[in-house]
Structure 1
């Protein structure tokens, strides 16, 4: 399912926060949806290069790794995100790690934040 995501990025001390709004979609969505997405997420490391090539309008691609990490590509770079999954409480599900990492990287890039590896 494609969603519109709004991320609030804290500003420097004394400054207002900045916002990034973008469309995120899974790589298994129909082509018409994927071509609208700023962020694509899902798939596998083996298919990432093909997905990236087929979607030149996509700004960020986030693919889950086998070890629980997320491999994130963006125009001009790449990084790997490592984190522990949050606990699931009752009916609340943990967010999809690839979707979350992709949206956070997009927000940092869109608001002028630095990506440090």
Structure 2
């Protein structure tokens, strides 16, 4: 079972990123632990975490959502999910996870992060 001191830094980092960079008002919904081996979205950012807290962080979204987020981050429309959009979404995952790593450090969990990898496609 995931502990609050591990999950909360990720929630805080994601909410602050979305509010700051996308100018969105965000509210946290119900949390759930998903043990599925399949992703729910077409665009996924995977970042490995090693150290006191180990695992893979996965940010999963629809292609439509990924294009919308990339459009805001890039500052121009993204009609097709291309290499530039991929880079923007990967960097979003990197920023959120990096901020969460600082939060983990504050909770006493030292960790290292892998570079983000984009995985396109459901499953």
TM-score by length of 2: 0.29
Which has a greater percent of helix? 2
Q: Which has the higher contact order (CA 8 A, sep 6+)?
A: 2
Which has a greater percent of strand? 1
TM-score by length of 1: 0.30
